[in-house]
Each structure stands twice: as structure tokens, then as C-alpha cells.
Chains A and B, each alone.
Chain A
């Protein structure tokens, strides 16, 4: 059993290790090691296309993680007061949103938005004053952020709700017993107590959005995120530069994931 598990882990992680290893390859080719060098990192960071894609990715990841944390936290708080069949339906939908394959979300969002835009654009054109150029809705940053926010929200809801469930109801009662208004209670008791979970949700969302290729591929329109850039470059052959980008993305993701984990652990620590 242990052998089997070891094999599975090796199978999963060896390719990642190889990529990290070859990113430091001095040579031109991805297949043979020719000494240590960090020149591919310099090259990747000096590439204007890479930097452009990185900027887009960071913008999308930050915005959608922020929106998802905000809406997700609000939804988690609101769901506390919901009971019965409505609650069951919501719970199911949230888990479905997390488990559904990215490709389904990608295609569905693409079709949904394109159909919507086809309906809205003529209306906008009709509403706009004569002579002025009516804005045209199309796929791009907006649709990408919207799609990411949607599925990340489900993630934040699950994380924040777990924290809320572990919170003693008497705490909010004690706060209102001590003259705090409902908003005062939220600001001084509920928010500080769930904040680690919200922050963890933000970091996880950031990572997921930053790493996402499939959904972005469908809904990004003409925008290029880092994963999309990497995918298109691979078609011209895997260079150590791609390895370097991959390793950097991996590093940042791991740091964020660990930070999120630490936050969740700390949030769960109960005072004795």
C-alpha cells in the first residue's frame, strides 16, 4: 500500500520537479542538462509578451479574488439565516460549482455571454443617442473576471461558512447584549473572527484564477493571460524559458497556498 502511494506521488510530482530542474539549464534544449544557469529567468522576465500576459493575469486574479471574497463572504453570512429546502438547494449548487469541470464552466460562460451580448448590443445601439458610437459588449477582461468570480465565489462561501459554523452563536448575542448595533457586532466581532477565513479564501481564489487556463481560454476574448501565453508558446516547442515561467508560477502558487493553509489553521484554533 505504501509502495503504491509512493508511486502515485512520484508519478504526479516528478514532471513538476523536472520542469523546475530544467528551468536552471544552461543549455538551449529541454532534453539535456548543460550546467546551471538562471539566464532563462532573466530572459522570461525581459520578454515584453510575458510581462504583458503576467500583468493581465495579475489584474484578473486580483480583481476576481477580491470580488469573490466580497460576494462569497456576503453570501456565506446570508446563508446562515436560510434553512430548509432553500438551504439544501443552495448547498448543492455551491458544491456543483466547485466540482464542475473547468471546461464546462468555460463553454457555458462563453455561450451564455455571447448570447447575452447578441441580445444586448442592438438594444444598447438603439438606446444610444443619434450619431454617438454605442459601446459594444464583447469578450475580454470583463467576461474573464466575471467567469472567474463566479466559480471562485463558491470556494469562498465554503471556506467562510466552515469558519462561521465553528463560531459560537453566543458571541454575537453577547455583543448585542453589550449594546452593539447589528452592524457594530458585525464590524467588531463577526468580521474579525471570520477574517482569517476570508483572507485564506482570497489567497486561494487568487491562486486558482492565476493558474486557470481552461476557463480563460474560452472567455478571455483577445486578452492573453500567462497560462494562455505559455500554451501558445508550447506550440512552438518547449524552451527553458517556459520552464522558468512555470517554476515561478509554481513558486508563487505554493507560497499563497501555504499562507492560506496557515491562516485557516490559525483561525480554527480555539481558545481554551
Chain B
């Protein structure tokens, strides 16, 4: 198994990572905001830090930007340690959560700000041309002389994006850039951001607490909790092979049944549940016999039927979702859990009504044996 942080794209290609954390920790007084971060970001990838607020994801981003210096360890950009390098000397740009556009400047002046700081100075014509191109990329041509407060939230976000990409940074940092947008606009911007990233080939590092956002846009997701990296992987890996209950619950939703390992062979295990039943499951990490674990089953893996084998359950609630129907079912001893039935299976057997007594079952391969934490 890969060591946490060095998995995925890098080990395969062997190229120098564009950015890297080596055993990085950050403390603010007694508060540990980030501890022992190890992570390599490959050139051109779209990486997301995902976690609840206070998990250290923003601190990690700010250490890349140069706003915070690590308390321990090394931050590298393009193979060089940048611990002591100030933000204004790093070839990195950031899109701030509330955009942080300069209110006393026009849109064009905002976008050209980074270019105007270059020494030796760039010719005015070149700045104007680059600003024009950036406006074009974010589809804001014609807005150059607008004032910031005349722009809508979505437009302001594009200005912030243009202001960052016009400098052709090695790394584009995005600090919850979508948080202030409404749902529809957010969807649009997600697609736009992804296209932009492919078009420009710039490495994007996104911080978000929105799992949907991270899943839909990222090449790799780095899941954080209490200042630590919990798991890194592609959205599919994280969804299909979570290594802990935390990840399984954070990426998508899942049903968890507590139990104890009875037999284990390193790949799969049998687990005795609270009601005495013994279930098979595949193991993400090697866990010894007698260890307290939980079995994780995604709701869409739970099949409901009127006849056959399975756990006897009662339908508590039914939510029609169009192509799927979500059932909340209750087992006498294991408690409530969710099942997501596709339309087709319902046509054969259902639809099930509240109060129906059914049998719930799943493939042993769909059940994951995970640490309880």
C-alpha cells in the first residue's frame, strides 16, 4: 500500500512535484492547525483539500501562498524549499473566499495589478493586451472599466479568477471560491473552472468543505481531519475504497454497522455484529481478530426484496427521488439504515410502502470493514 500522501499520479510518472509538503506542522500558540502533512502535488493536476471547517485545509493553502510559515517541516515549490519566502515573492496566486478585489480600482486595474508589480516593468501595451486576454478567458470582455461594486457576485468571482491567472502562476490556489455563490451559479462555475484548468494547464489547489464540489472537479482529493491528512486519492478511489469510517461518511453517504472481527485473512474478514450475525466484508486496512470495527455499506448497494435472503427490516420512510427511491428501513437490533432502490427493481417488486416488512441484502464485496474512528 502507498504511504499516505505519495500515492497516485506522482509515483507513476516520477516527475518533480510542483508543490510538496514534507512533514509540515503549523501551530498557533497551543492550537495545532496542521500536523505532519506529507503531500506532493503533480504539475497540472487539480487537487482539493476537503474537510469540515477547522480541519486545517485553509492553513495548508495559506502555507502554500506564503501567508503562514510552517512551524515544522518544509514546504517546497517546484523542488525548492520556500519556508522563508514571502508571499509576494512566490510564483503562486490565490482566489480568495470573498474575492478580496480592490474596491478603489476598475476591473481592468484589478486584473492588471499583479502585472504592474513586475520588475523590470512590463510595457503598458503588454499589460493591456494580457488583461484583455484574461477578460476574454473569463468571458468578461466589455467590463474592463466597470467598478467592482457594479459587478454581481458571479462576475466578481471571475474578476478574481482573471486577476490570478493573468500572472500565469505555477500554482493557482482557490480558497472556497464557490461558497458565496448560489447553487445554480456554483454548478456553472464548477464546470467553467474545470474547463479553464484543462485549457491553461495550471495546477489548481482547491479548498472546500463541499464534498460534491471536490468530487466533481478534482483529479485527487486530500481529506483532512483535525489538522491531519486522513486519505488521499481520486474521487473514485475515495468513494470505492475509503480507509476509514470518517472518509466513507464524508465522501458520499454510507450505512455503518458496528461489530468485532472474528476471522481475518488480510483481504477480507468476517465480523460479528451486535445481533450475533456474522457478515463478510473486504478489508481496507489490516485489522486483527477481536478488533472493534464497523461495516460500511453504501445505500445504493443495499437491495430490498419481499422474498429471498437477508436482514428482516421494516420500511420507516420513503423518499421519491425520480430515478431512485430512498428508503429508510429499520432492523430490530441493528437500527435504522438507508437503501437506495433504482426504478427498475421497484417495477419488478415494489414500490414498497411504509410499514412493509422486507429483506435487505448486499454483496459481500460491497461491504467494507473499516476502523471505527
Contacts and interface: CB of A to CB of B under 8 A. Distances in A.
A168 B98 contact: yes
A272 B88 contact: no
Interface residues of B, number: 27
Contact of B117 (A173, A178, A270, A271): A178
Interface string A152-188: 0000000000000000101101111111111011001
Contacts of A185: 88
B118 interface: yes
Given A170-B98, A178-B163, A181-B88, A271 B93 contact: no
Interface in B80-105: 86-89, 92-94, 96-98, 100-104
A192 interface: yes
B203 interface: no
Nearest to A272: B149
Interface of B: 65-67, 86-89, 92-94, 96-98, 100-104, 113-114, 117-118, 147-149, 163, 167
B103 A271 contact: yes
A163 B114 CA distance: 25
Contacts of B101: 174
Contacts of A170: 96-98, 100
Contacts, number: 67
Interface string A184-197: 11001100110000
Given A178-B163, A179-B118, A173 B104 contact: no
Interface residues of A, number: 22
B114 A178 contact: yes
Nearest to A182: B88
A192 B104 contact: yes
A189 B102 contact: yes
Given A173-B100, A174-B100, A179 B117 contact: yes
A175 B113 contact: yes
A173 B98 CA distance: 12
A236 to B, nearest CB: 53
25 contacts: A171-B100, A173-B65, A173-B67, A173-B87, A173-B94, A174-B96, A174-B100, A174-B102, A175-B113, A177-B87, A177-B92, A177-B93, A178-B88, A178-B114, A178-B163, A179-B89, A179-B118, A181-B117, A182-B88, A184-B117, A185-B88, A188-B113, A193-B103, A270-B103, A271-B103
Nearest to A179: B117
B86 A176 contact: yes
Given A173-B87, A180-B88, A168 B100 contact: yes
A174 B100 CA distance: 6
Interface of A: 168, 170-171, 173-182, 184-185, 188-189, 192-193, 270-272
A143 B65 CA distance: 50
Contact of A176 (B88, B97, B118, B148): B88
Given A171-B100, A171-B102, A178 B93 contact: yes
B147 A271 contact: yes
Contacts of B86: 176
Which of A173, A175, A177 counts the most B-chain CB atoms under 10 A from its CB? A177
A199 to B, nearest CB: 14
A18 to B, nearest CB: 45
Contacts of B97: 170
B118 A173 contact: no
Given A177-B65, A177-B87, A271 B148 contact: yes
Nearest to A192: B104
Which of B66, B87, B93, B167 counts the most A-chain CB atoms under 10 A from its CB? B87
Contacts of B117: 178-181, 184
A272 B146 CA distance: 13
B115 to A, nearest CB: 9
Nearest to B109: A188
Contacts of A184: 88, 117
A173 B93 contact: no
A182 B167 CA distance: 19
A184 B116 CA distance: 11
Given A173-B87, A184-B117, A271-B148, A178 B98 contact: no
